[in-house]
Amino acid sequence: MSAADVVSRRRFDPRWGGIAITLATVVPSAAALGLTDLRITAILLAGTAVAALGQICDMTRLPVLARLTVQSVAAGGVVLCGVQITLTGHWPDGPVTVMWIVGVANCFSLLNSTDRLLPVVAAVTAVFLAGAALILAEPAVAVLLATMACASLGLLGSRTPMGSSGSLFIGFVLTCSAVLLIAGRSQDTIGAGLVLPALVAIADTGFAFACTGQISERLHRGGLDLQTVAGTYGAAAGAAGLLCVCVAIGLLAPLTAAAAGTVLVVVAAFQCRTRRVTPASRMAPEQTPPLIGAGAVPQQARGPHRWDGEGLF
């Protein structure tokens, strides 16, 4: 069996961690909240549909257009149930909300391609968003987010891959929850409430599309190990979440908090020191991992920072 065959089979195996985190979030939330809040019910149902889509993507190839269509329909259902950005108060708010939910959910999904960073970011973000929800008198949203935080923490010590199923579910629920919390508020509060909870995911995706590699890759090239990189991402998500809570309390102006968080993440990412890594093709014969010649694909052969080869969409 060739190395390409091994990678292909790994790519299309189902990721059971995604099923676990979906069930661990949906079932307790539905049991605690019931079906009385239409907005929460819509988020749970749409999130489950997106998770099912991700599970199918883990097992077989789907065109990008088909994936985006399903995600857009799920986001549209949530919008029809009252989870909507209220920038203008007119019909354009609906399409804008759908595009934001789908885009940011996929930004969170991209975090799942490196070092299992997503459970750390999801747990920290959900905890601070739950605190903001309590401050803003949205206890149902707080329960949903607290449940997701516990489910994400449960995957930190597990080696079960999350896959597209779990990553899309997490991104979808976190983004919808943030949209729900800022609905009907001032435009500057809406801007800060949308950007801050997703700041780490958006910045990471921005660096990836700017052809500089994800921020985690820069940290790895700087010599940081997996645990330190995960802790760095968690600290960044915590800082952004703390700014969210400060805005909810009224300690900071929304635009000031959003600008401060953005500058902090971008400057920190650019300050990451990199070092040259000897390409695998130039390694001395005695340095070549013995398993490569046997057709296996060890972690070193795939790169120490990637664990399952998943990407955006």
Tens of pLDDT along 56-91?
A: 988 888 899 999 999 999 999 999 999 999 988 888
Burial class of residue 212, CB neighbours in 10 A (0-12, 13-18, 19+): middle
Terminal alpha carbon distance of the chain? 28
SS (H, E, C) 247-288: HHHCCCCHHHHHHHHHHHHHHHHHCCCCCCCCCHHHCCHHHC
DSSP state of 287: G
Asked if residue 261 lies in contact with residue 196, where contact means CB atoms within 8 angstroms, the answer is yes
CA 152-155-158 angle, to 5 degrees, is 170
pLDDT computed for residue 115 by the predictor:
53
| DSSP E strand stretches across the chain | none
Give the global pTM.
0.81
191 and 254 in contact (C-beta within 8 Å)? yes
Q: What is the per-residue pLDDT for 212?
A: 66
Give me Rg for the CA atoms of the chain.
Answer: 20
Q: Scan for tokens 């900071």, then name that residue.
A: 252
Question: What is the predicted pLDDT for the residue at 137?
Answer: 94
What pLDDT digit, counting tens, does each position of 159-213 carry? 667 888 899 999 999 999 999 999 989 999 999 999 999 999 998 888 888 766 7
pLDDT profile of the chain (313 residues), mean per 10: 41 67 94 91 96 90 92 96 90 94 92 76 95 95 96 78 88 96 92 93 86 75 81 91 94 91 80 49 43 35 40 50
Distant-in-sequence, close-in-space partners of 94: CB < 8 Å, separation ≥ 6? 76, 79, 84
The pLDDT value recorded for residue 246 is 94
The pLDDT of residue 271 is: 66
pLDDT computed for residue 15 by the predictor: 64
